[in-house]
Amino acid sequence: MKTYFNILYIYILMGTTGYSQQDAQYTQYMYNTIMINPAYAGSRGTTSIFGMYRQQWVGLDGAPVTVMLSVNTPHKNEKIGLGLSFTNDRIGPSSENNFSMDFSYTIQPSQRYKISFGLKATANLFSLDINKLNILQQGDPQFQNLNMDFSPNVGAGIYVHSDNTYFGFSVPNFLETKHYKDNSVSVTKERLHYYFITGHTFDFSSELKFKPTLLVKAVEGAPIQVDLSGNFLISDKLTLGVGYRWDAAVSALAGFQVSDSWFIGYAYDAETSRLANYNSGSHEIFLRYEFFNNYNRVLTPRFF
């Protein structure tokens, strides 16, 4: 019974705060921007493999758990970028799997800046486990035939970047899909999400860099979400920072460049909303591996 009420609480909360949790949420999005902007594909100039695990609202039964994997690489003298990604997002009785392909094309209108245009194609598989619901009428036809529901989607983005500055705008999914629309009641509807990102790296010295970043996410029926963060890079190895999600959470971030190829990061979110009474925060950990060769090997890792 406790599980049922916790799951119900999550869905009530999501309903009152809009649809902001429809897309998987990341505190360290700046290290894997391809998930929200396909134009990022190949922009680091090397093949990048990324994996992340996020457990949100620890201690609250049915809270979101996200697992994602991605790979992206440049092609054709870095003018073309290609990417593949997989995300599994579980919230209460629902499970959502997304398989995405990304394509980007980059032009260089000036000596300093590059502009990348991206397209994203996604296959979405949504399922609802009715065994996790307390259904009053077990034979209710509205809760029958809720097997895995397939829906395709497309998105696009633009990403402008230099060696120390970036900003971008994207809509990862253009189609507003109703899941189980053949049922008498639509279980859920995917809304359009609009993302704006920007960041800049300040070189204080050869041993210290500082990067403030901003993410703004807008979706119909929900307040605008604003994420602010600031990270210090020390000796091109250790990253320490803090973040603030407007009216939602404060975050502590840390990362370590183990080698030229390996980078590991961790973030902890402490809720500032009323949800703080029901959970002990959120944990997020990621691992990134990049392939280098004699032509694209970098002397120091890029900070975004």
Residue ranges of domains in the chain: 36-291
pLDDT for 77 equals 80
Nearest Cα to Cα of residue 152 among 101, 225, 83: 101
pLDDT for 117 equals 98
**Amino acid identity for residue 49 in this structure:** I
Mean pLDDT confidence for 236-253: 95
Q: pLDDT tens for residues 146-188?
A: 667 788 999 999 999 998 999 999 999 998 776 655 555 555 5
Nearest Cα to Cα of residue 184 among 221, 153, 136, 146: 146
pLDDT for 189 equals 64
Q: pLDDT tens for residues 30-45?
A: 898 999 999 999 999 8
For residues 244 and 227, give the distance between their C-alpha atoms in angstroms, rounded to a whole number: 6
Whether 59 shows a pLDDT value over 80: the answer reads yes
Q: pLDDT tens for residues 64-77?
A: 999 999 999 998 78
For residues 284 and 92, give the distance between their C-alpha atoms in angstroms, rounded to a whole number: 19
Whether 250 shows a pLDDT value over 80: the answer reads yes
* Reported confidence tier of residue 142, pLDDT bands at 50, 70, 90: low
Q: pLDDT tens for residues 179-209?
A: 655 555 555 566 789 999 999 999 999 899 9
Residue scoring higher pLDDT (106 or 142): 106
Mean pLDDT is lowest, of 54-63, 100-109, 144-153, 158-167, for: 144-153
Q: Which CATH number fits domain 36-291: 2.40.160.40, 3.50.50.60, 3.40.50.12160, 1.20.210.10?
A: 2.40.160.40
For residues 64 and 179, give the distance between their C-alpha atoms in angstroms, rounded to a whole number: 19
CA 112 to centroid of chain Cα atoms: 28
For residues 217 and 195, give the distance between their C-alpha atoms in angstroms, rounded to a whole number: 5
For residues 188 and 47, give the distance between their C-alpha atoms in angstroms, rounded to a whole number: 36
pLDDT for 2 equals 43
Pairs from 270-279 (Cβ < 8 Å, separation ≥ 24): 271/57, 272/247, 272/248, 273/247, 273/248, 273/249, 275/13, 275/57, 275/60, 278/6, 278/9, 278/57, 278/59, 278/60, 279/57, 279/58, 279/59, 279/60, 279/63
Structure tokens at 10: 């999550």
pLDDT for 106 equals 96
Mean pLDDT, the chain, integer: 84
* Reported confidence tier of residue 301, pLDDT bands at 50, 70, 90: low
Give the rounded percent of residues in the chain with a pLDDT score beyond 70: 80
CA R_g for the chain: 20
Measure CA of the first residue to CA of the last residue in the chain; give whole Å. Answer: 45
pLDDT for 176 equals 78
Nearest Cα to Cα of residue 285 among 258, 257, 266: 266
pTM as predicted: 0.85
Residues in the chain, overall count: 304
With beta carbons less than 8 A apart as the criterion, state whether 42 and 75 touch. yes
CA 69 to centroid of chain Cα atoms: 11
Burial of 147 from C-beta contacts in 10 A (0-12 / 13-18 / 19+): exposed
